[in-house]
Amino acid sequence: MKADTLRGHLDALLLAVLDGRKLHGYAIIEALQLRSDGALDLPTGTVYPALRRLERAGWLASEWDVVSGRKRRTYRLTRSGEQALAAERAEWREFTSVIGGVLGT
Amino acid sequence: MKADTLRGHLDALLLAVLDGRKLHGYAIIEALQLRSDGALDLPTGTVYPALRRLERAGWLASEWDVVSGRKRRTYRLTRSGEQALAAERAEWREFTSVIGGVLGT
DNA sequence: GGCTACACATAGACTGCCTACATGTAGCAA
DNA sequence: TTGCTACATGTAGGCAGTCTATGTGTAGCC
């Protein structure tokens, strides 16, 4: 997959993978790999800043865990994050419908 | 639609709208508006440089028309442009399948 | 002791699209 | 004849968001 095609959809992916569960950054990357059959392999330098950005936006909340001596920052969706996810899903449907319509399914 | 979501898909849109017909730049913009029910309103500063880029890549060929005193540069797909369009369509299907799979259709 | 997987983080570059601007013709209305 | 709108192409520069490269440190295995 071309690199830039992801642009504008990263937030949706991160919110979706956190829907209904709490995960730390590294586990988020693995979960995205798993859910996409290996197609999505996001670098840490992409994911960690994005998570902090989403937290600043109020869509995620985080807390530090220490599991077997390792620090983990665990993220979860806030209420407004859930709303944002719903909005992102709606936008995704509109986006695919518009582009798909032009490309001719 | 958010602005940045388009990224990486512009080439596909331009190739698709030229599939089977010749159009000049301005008409390409109108055709995209029409095909997307007004959702896509690409600025000229986006489209014209992109067309020249696609021509440099060998995917489009252009020629000057003069219609009622107005200059028009008319574009058409080349053979390799048709192949590129097919590839873009395949990538689009893969892309929507991957992202859609994560978002949960 | 060295290697790999785990885990977080930042700085800087890059890319591709957008904004803003520039130029000019044709046709219509006031 | 002046002004406005639609038509038509194009460039320069900015910017946002992603990637690359790099850094730090722990745990567990061989």
State the pLDDT at residue B74: 97
Instruction: Render pLDDT for A56-78 as a digit per residue (tens, 0 to 9).
Output: 999 999 999 988 788 999 999 99
Name the token pair of B71.
Answer: 């200059």
Sign of the torsion formed by the C-alpha atoms of A73, A77, A81 and A85 = positive
CB atoms within 10 A of CB A2: 12
Nearest protein residue to the C1' atom of D25, measured from CA: A70
A20: alpha, beta or left? (left if phi > 0; alpha if psi -120 to 50): left
Q: What is the DSSP letter of B39?
A: S
Q: Where are the alpha helices (DSSP H) in A21-78?
A: 25-35, 44-56
Span CA (B104) to C1' (C27), Å = 53
Instruction: Render pLDDT for B29-43 as a digit per residue (tens, 0 to 9).
Output: 999 999 999 999 999
Residue among B76, B38, B34, B36 at smallest CA distance from B55: B76
Check CB contact of A16 with chain B, cutoff 8 Å: yes
**Set of chain A residues whose Cβ sits within 8 Å of the Cβ of B99:** 9, 12-13, 92
φ, ψ at B71 (rounded to 5°)? -80, 135
User: Nearest CA to CA, how far is A72 from chain B (Å)?
Assistant: 23
A105 confidence band (pLDDT: 50, 70, 90) = low
Nearest protein residue to the C1' atom of D16, measured from CA: B4
| B42 CB-to-strand C distance under 7 Å | yes
